[in-house]
A and B are shown apart, each in its own frame.
Chain A
Amino acid sequence: MGGAGSMWDMEAARAALPVVLSGFGITLLATVLGFAVAAVAGLAIALLQRSGGRRLALAVGAPAAFVRSTPVMVQLFAAWVLVPGLDPLVLGVLVLGLHYATYLSEVYRAGIDAVPKGQWEACTALSLPRRRVWRAVVLPQAVRKVLPALGNYAVSLFKETPFLSVITVNEMVHEASAFGSTHFAYLESFTLAAAVFLLASWPTSLLVRRLEARLAQ
């Protein structure tokens, strides 16, 4: 056993950096696309549960609750087996996106519930059509109220993208792992990957917190 100096190989780290960064592109892509799926599908779930009557609410709510309470890793494996032939990245984005959609639907629901009753009544008094009530009055206010929560979930989804490696997506941790095994430099490659995660998610969290403070005013 040597000291830290002998464990950390600067040469290996230098060689690992471009490999890790190339994986970061995929990670970022999976995050953006996954969160887009989550944001849209989550809203759809929230709206269906809210305005579609009791049967529809159950038909949407039960699967959502199931997805929410099982691990995303298991869901990825299950999808991998059940839906063969789909590009792993596409499959991963869909699974991760739908998984988060079940959380975001609850966030949207809280935001919708937080819109005061008087806003709905004003819409009725003005005879605004239902569609317009949602689009122009309720959702803009609801989303504004939950923007920080949505931001936190985006960061959280970002940090769960390494799960995509289990279905062979070449995201950052997958690349770090591959580099580590061929050059026997796991410490360097994984440390770099961790550093990139930190550098990306820490400022984002700060941004979310500032947004939160601004909206609280």
Chain B
Amino acid sequence: MPSDHVPGAEKVRFDRVTKRFGDQTVLDGLDLTVAPGERVTLIGPSGSGKTTILRLLMTLERVTDGVVHVDGEPFSHMPSGPGGALVPADERHLAPRRRRIGMVFQQFNLFPHMSVLANVVEAPRHVLGLDGDEAAARARDLLGLVGLADKEDAHPTRLSGGQQQRVAIARALAMRPELLLLDEVTSALDPELVAEVLDVLRDVADSTDITMLCVTHEMGFARDISDRILMFDGGRVLESGPPERLLDAPEHERTQAFVRSIT
């Protein structure tokens, strides 16, 4: 396993995490640590469990076995009492911790019946409890950041895929997440729209210290923003390292073959 685990300074730690769907094992006893502020990109063939890692962190799936830790404390699980054994977390345990995590989806998942501004205002207003003006001001700042200040009254269905995804990024950032999960955010886009989304994410990476976990097939982007790239295969980390090493001089043949296949 990668040796860059600094004790006491971990944002995310997967401790022997297994995830099965039926009799299919998607993650197989995975150990994984991400440091605060680190940008980690997950690559690998489809079905190798990359997206499942993000979905477990966003609590869209539950672990089958093992424990997911966030900020040095159990996240997927909680102590059953003072000093008690770990049991699967309930909503009371998850809710305050989940707020520090944001996610951008492959299919954007904007709320189609709300304006762009309303999409971005929704969570700050109704989760963080900001008043209407504060939430709107924050939303407008972020829409400016993603280059869509002039679209706040538009409905998402009227926007291009690239614009929709930029709104989705603004919407996730409006919660000021400490951990941002990017799940193949350009895979559903027409090729000519990919760059505008990646440029926005590069800006976010450069101008914040948000910890980022990213599943992508865009190797140029991965190279630019990643501190570390993990190559997945069959629910395990096959190898990991800084982008130059992993992309230019991979140790494993499977990594070589995979990198060659998508670049």
B112 at the interface (CB under 8 A from A): yes
CA distance A126 to B174 in the complex (A): 9
A binding-site residues for B, Cβ under 8 Å: 116, 118-119, 121-122, 124-129, 132, 136-137, 140-141, 144
B84-105 interface (Cβ within 8 A of A): 95, 98-99, 101-103, 105
A119 touches which one: B99, B109, B175 (CB < 8 A)?
A: B109
- How many residues of chain B get a CB closer than 8 Å to chain A's CBs? 24
B225 at the interface (CB under 8 A from A): no
Q: Which residues of B contact A132 (CB under 8 A)?
A: 126
Is A124 in contact with B58, judged by CB distance below 8 angstroms? yes
B197 at the interface (CB under 8 A from A): no
Is B112 in contact with A126, judged by CB distance below 8 angstroms? no
Q: Which residues of B contact A124 (CB under 8 A)?
A: 58-60, 98
Is A122 in contact with B95, judged by CB distance below 8 angstroms? no
Q: Which residues of A contact B109 (CB under 8 A)?
A: 116, 118-119, 121-122, 125
B171 at the interface (CB under 8 A from A): yes
Q: Which residues of B contact A122 (CB under 8 A)?
A: 105, 109-111
Q: Which residues of B contact A121 (CB under 8 A)?
A: 58, 60, 105, 109
Is B127 in contact with A129, judged by CB distance below 8 angstroms? yes
A99 CB, nearest partner CB in chain B, Å:
30
Known: A119-B109, A125-B172. 12 other contacts (CB 8 A): A121-B109, A124-B59, A126-B123, A126-B127, A126-B175, A127-B98, A128-B122, A129-B127, A132-B126, A136-B111, A141-B112, A144-B113
List 29 A-B pairs, Cβ < 8 Å: A118-B105, A119-B109, A119-B111, A121-B58, A121-B60, A121-B109, A122-B109, A122-B110, A122-B111, A124-B60, A125-B58, A125-B60, A125-B101, A125-B102, A125-B103, A125-B109, A125-B172, A126-B171, A127-B99, A127-B123, A127-B175, A128-B127, A129-B126, A136-B111, A136-B122, A136-B126, A137-B111, A140-B113, A141-B113
Q: Which residues of B contact A144 (CB under 8 A)?
A: 113
Q: Which residues of A contact B126 (CB under 8 A)?
A: 128-129, 132, 136
B25 at the interface (CB under 8 A from A): no
Q: Which residues of B contact A136 (CB under 8 A)?
A: 111, 114, 122, 126
B115 at the interface (CB under 8 A from A): no
